[in-house]
Amino acid sequence: MAVVATLSFREARDCVIAKVAGAGKPPVEEIGLDEADGRVLAEEVAADRDYPAVARSLRDGYAVRSADLPGAFEVIGEVRAGGIFERPVGPGEALEIMTGAPVPEGADQVVMLEHTRREDGRMTTDRGPNRGEWVNPKGSEAKAGQAVLAAGARLDYSSIAMLATVGKIRVKAYRRPRVAILATGDELVEAGAVPREYQIRNSNAVSLAAQARRAGGIPEILPAAPDEREATRRLLERGLRADLLLISGGVSAGKYDVVEQALEELEAEFFFDGTLIQPGKPTVFGRARGTFFFGLPGNPVSTMVTFNIFARAALESLGGQSEVALPVFPSRLTGPFRHKTGLTRFLPARLSPDGGELTPIKWQGSSDVAAAARANAFLVADPERESWEAGEWMPAMPK
């Protein structure tokens, strides 16, 4: 077999991102706002008018001319959100105004209700002039025609609010990529079956499907492949018809790890077939028949971690997302931690509810699904550092 590269975590991730970025954008479809959550925008969206469309009050109070402050004012009426006061505010005049209501011509400051007194139709305040205070100027949030959402953005509740605000009820979105999932291993039985003691239930197919869905893909689980080259190749061919193929298991150096050989028979290009991480060292990334594939090590926690740090970026990018992020943030260790240098480690951990504290979870290694299920994050141990004390910062990658 050809010798392929073993890369550091960073190099491997950069390799995935660079290769997939060159793949071009997926086809586009039109969707409604009710289907937009999590989808990737395929067009730039612009403001249809100024936001706000008129100057609006940010507080309940009185709209006045700042030059008149402080002083006593004649109250000329009131305006609330949804209404309009048709004439300008003149010198010495105050208009009672509610939050969200248009600030009329002439007025350039709103005095909060709390800072005013009202007597015999007059309003008195000792607030001084502060031009623009509590007034949200016309066009200050967005100007008519200005881009408010960029193509390639993954839509969430706030971007959906933006679409609704500008009246864009149908938008162009990239088609969700189809992700074929192929678990391999003679030991596998379906999750609904009763395994013999030397067998295990196939959990990777469903965990990968859930992770793929979360990353914007449409998963298709293929029948599990036995550890035999011919059968594996046939299933790989099927999987390569999707937009991305995820294979679990069969990529280590064992006698029955036939995935790489079967991929070679399909004239696959390999970009790397090892990474300096743990779990997940034997991860493979390549392309065959125009489709990118990952060979993820079969131990369930390895599969989960390597999907998250590598395959997710590929999938998001194939889905048209312009930025692929791997959120990792520092948290304080609740106890000391040490590891052997050389590999970047991603180990099950528990973040406190506010994210401030990080506790490693005892585990039996990368087969330990129970530990992964108890975790809500993976701590990320730097390959060049050996030990951390309690209270020191350590990067955490939320699950």
Residues at the contact surface with ligand AMP, assessed by CB under 6 A: 183, 185, 187-188, 200, 202-205, 248-250, 252, 297-300, 367
User: What's the min distance (Å) between Cβ of 303 and ligand AMP?
Assistant: 7
State the greatest distance between any 2 C-alpha atoms of the chain, in Å, as a whole number: 95
Coil, strand or helix at 261: helix
- Taking the complex as a whole, the smallest distance from the CB of residue 248 to Mg ion amounts, in Å, to 9
Given the complex with ligand AMP, which of 31 and 200 has the nearer CB atom? 200
Partner whose footprint covers residue 367, from Mg ion, ligand AMP, none (CB < 5 to 8 Å by kind): ligand AMP
The SS3 of residue 169 is coil
Stretch that binds Mg ion, among 235-243, 261-269, 297-305, 369-377 (CB under 5 A): 297-305
Question: From the list Mg ion, ligand AMP, none, which binds 203 (C-beta under 5 to 8 Å, kind-based)?
Answer: ligand AMP
CB of 249 to Mg ion, least distance (A): 4
For Mg ion, give the closer residue by CB, 148 or 225.
225
| Residues 283/308, Cβ–Cβ less than 8 Å | no
Residue 185 C-beta: closest distance to ligand AMP, Å:
4
Closest to 49 (Cα-Cα) out of 148, 150, 151, 124 = 148
Contact 92, 115 (CB under 8 A): no
Those residues whose C-beta lies under 8 Å from the C-beta of residue 185, and which sit 6 or more positions away, are 224, 225, 226, 227, 249, 250, 298
Cβ neighbourhood burial of 372 (10 Å; 0-12, 13-18, 19+):
buried
Q: What angle do CA 323, 263, 182 make, to 5 degrees?
A: 65
Which entry of ligand AMP, Mg ion, none binds 322, CB below 5 to 8 A by partner kind?
Answer: none
| 105 vs 111: CA distance, rounded Å | 16
The region of 29-37, 179-187, 282-290, 322-330 touching Mg ion under the rule CB under 5 A is 179-187
Name which of 202 and 317 has its Cβ closer to Mg ion: 202
Residue 254 CB, shortest distance to ligand AMP, in Å, is 6
Binding of Mg ion by 185 (CB under 5 A): yes
Q: Total residues contacting Mg ion (rule CB under 5 A)? A: 4
**Smallest separation, CB 255 to Mg ion (Å):** 11
Contacts of 120 (CB under 8 A, 6+ apart): none
51 or 294: CB nearest ligand AMP: 294
Q: What's the alpha-carbon Rg for the chain, to the nearest Å?
A: 30
Q: In whole angstroms, what is the distance from residue 146 CA to residue 50 CA? A: 9
281, 274 Cβ separation under 8 angstroms:
yes
Q: Is residue 286 involved in binding Mg ion (CB under 5 A)?
A: no
- CB closer to Mg ion out of 256 and 328: 256
Closest CA to 286 of 267, 313, 308: 267
Q: Which does 248 bind (CB under 5 to 8 A by kind): ligand AMP, Mg ion, none?
A: ligand AMP
- CB nearer to ligand AMP: pick between 334 and 367: 367
- Smaller CB separation from ligand AMP, 79 or 304: 304
Which of ligand AMP, Mg ion, none does 252 bind, CB closer than 5 to 8 A by kind? ligand AMP
* Tokens read off for 180: 């074929």
Compute the least distance from the CB of residue 268 to ligand AMP, in Å. Answer: 18
Sole window of 6-14, 18-26, 206-214, 292-300 interacting with Mg ion (rule: CB under 5 A):
292-300
Q: Is 281 helix (H, G, I), strand (E, B) or coil?
A: coil
Q: Is 249 in the site for Mg ion (CB under 5 A)?
A: yes
Least distance from C-beta 250 to ligand AMP, angstroms? 5
350 phi/psi in degrees, rounded to 5: -120, 120
Q: How far is the CB of 257 from Mg ion (least distance, A)?
A: 6
Q: Which is nearer to ligand AMP, 252 or 334 (CB)?
A: 252
Q: Are 104 and 87 in contact (CB under 8 A)?
A: yes
Residue facing ligand AMP at closest CB distance: 298
The H or E element containing residue 220 is strand 218-221
- Would strands 147-149 and 45-46 be described as parallel, antiparallel, or unpaired? antiparallel
Tokens found for residue 158: 């706030």
Which residues lie near Mg ion (CB under 5 A)? 185, 249-250, 298
